[in-house]
Amino acid sequence: MINGAHVLFFSQDPERDQEFLRDVLGFEDVDAGDGWLVFGLPPTELATHPTDATPTCELYLACDDISATIGELQDQGVEITRTVSNAGWGLVTALRLPSGAELGLYEPKHPHPGT
């Protein structure tokens, strides 16, 4: 049976992105060998949304209070790349990783599975 998920970021600056995940976001890591870091994530959920566009996958980190989280991230020099918008299922924005990639951030407005 499925017991978890493994998410991959393909980065042009993996060392800086790894430092960001560890030092800014506070994710614990283990070295899987040869410097390949694997980060533990908080509880995760998976949803499907309809689209008329090409099917794709997106990753959003979740928080309880998007305004407070944005403030904490900006205090650490993190660039917020999108204005917060209400997507119905949550308040959404994005932050910039050191490599230049964007990572979604949202405050859910729906019940959480398992609660």
Length, in residues, of the chain: 115
**Whole-number Å distance between alpha carbons of 111 and 89:** 10
pLDDT of residue 115: 62
The whole-number pLDDT of residue 35 equals 85
- The pLDDT value recorded for residue 61 is 94
Are 46 and 5 spatial neighbours (Cβ–Cβ below 8 Å)? Answer: yes
Domains located in the chain, CATH noted: 14-46+54-108 (3.10.180.10)
The owner of tokens 């995760």 is 44
pLDDT tens string for the chain (115 positions)? 878 888 888 999 999 999 999 999 999 999 999 888 999 998 888 888 889 999 998 899 999 999 999 999 999 999 999 999 999 889 999 999 999 999 999 999 987 776 6
CA distance 65 to 48: 23
User: Distance between CA atoms of 16 and 115, rounded to whole angstroms?
Assistant: 35
Tokens 């060392």 belong to residue:
15
Predicted pLDDT at 25: 95
Helices marked H in 5-109: 14-19, 66-75
* Confidence at residue 114, expressed as pLDDT on a 0 to 100 scale: 67
User: How confident is the model at residue 49, as a pLDDT?
Assistant: 84
DSSP 8-state code for residue 92: E
